[in-house]
Chain A
Amino acid sequence: MNGVTVSAKVNGDAVQYVCPADESLLDVLRNRLNLTGVKEGCGTGDCGACSITLDGRLVCSCLVLGAEAEGREIGTVEGLSEGGKLHPLQEEFIEKAALQCGICTPGFLVAAKSLLERNPNPTEEEIRYALAGNLCRCTGYDKIVRAVQSAAKIMRRGKKVAR
């Protein structure tokens, strides 16, 4: 194997891996770093199940090469909760029954977190368009949108309290 050696940060931790030059970051995360919370639904960037952040930007990890992550910061669903505490989005997805089978959930959580970082008070329409790159086949998106609305509200309240 003509491997590329890559140093990157995943969910805040420094990692090193060797991967073939043509291997996707999705495969690296799942098969080399054991982060199987990142899901593959299509491998062509159409379903969003493999959503991660790369230097804070939301991307489909199936469309990024493992080699491209050199020196960069990767965020996956595994990094959402801090210690024993779930992220408000995770809490609200459970509370609002926003998942049925759950395969799309990691991608939705990462995409929703990215949205709320950019826009802490999105309208329903803004939520729907921000999540339009993530496919869910079980829920009809109803309870997902409600969970994101609810988490956004909780996070805004949290920020006020922190101040």
Chain B
Amino acid sequence: MNAALQFAERFRVPLCLLLVFGIWQAVHLAGVVPEKFFPSMPEIVGAFWRMLSDGTVITAWVTTFLRALIGLIAAASLGIALAILSDLSPVLSRGIRYVSDILQPIPPAAFVPMAVFMLGLGTKLYAFVIILVTVWPPYLNGVTALQAVSPVQVNTGRMFGLSRSQILWQVRLPAALPEIFTGIRYAATISLIAVIVSEMLAGRDGIGFMIYKKVYAMRSSDVFALMFLVACSGVLLNGLVALLRRALTGWHMRMMERPE
């Protein structure tokens, strides 16, 4: 029993994948959904392999992933910069808060038509849509975290002669960084969604556009293969954020993980 549990713990990732495969295959074989729309796992893997060998999927994936990554970096930097500005000026903070309250509930897809009219089809459109939906979690977490820094920490900085800006850079920002990263992590997911949606609605390349084409061509196994690829991209993007987070705020993660 114990050995079985240990085995399950050790191989939990492949086991979960196997479970998903199994359920998928069972649904496929049960014939609940017409076969045309719900291909078997071997068909999906085969479709992926085909797209991989003709090279189309690689170019599309690199395009999409870079868009999501660059968009995330830009949005996170902008979010942190805005959080710092808001911290310096309460008036600006209130202003940005209104804007974010209005813009935040709008789904990325709703921005795309407007962006097409304003910016045309191209890089500017992606930048606009991604940043507009991705900037808020790092910004909002940044504002809250900067406000929440303990007055004792600030007074400690003042006692050792730090100026206001030195306190911001050397005390308050490092203290706020763990919570900012929680926002960036969330933003990573949104960034990928925004890219795929923009590519589907207004794109000429990338995975989103590819999915769109395949849907119209009724290539369901290709569509599913691409969806799995998107899922993997999400995991990869989160992994990159986690790496940076560990490098910059590793102390916080170890502090939280330590046994009491």
Real complex partners, A and B? no
Chain B residues with a Cβ under 8 A of chain A? none
Chain A residues with a Cβ under 8 A of chain B? none
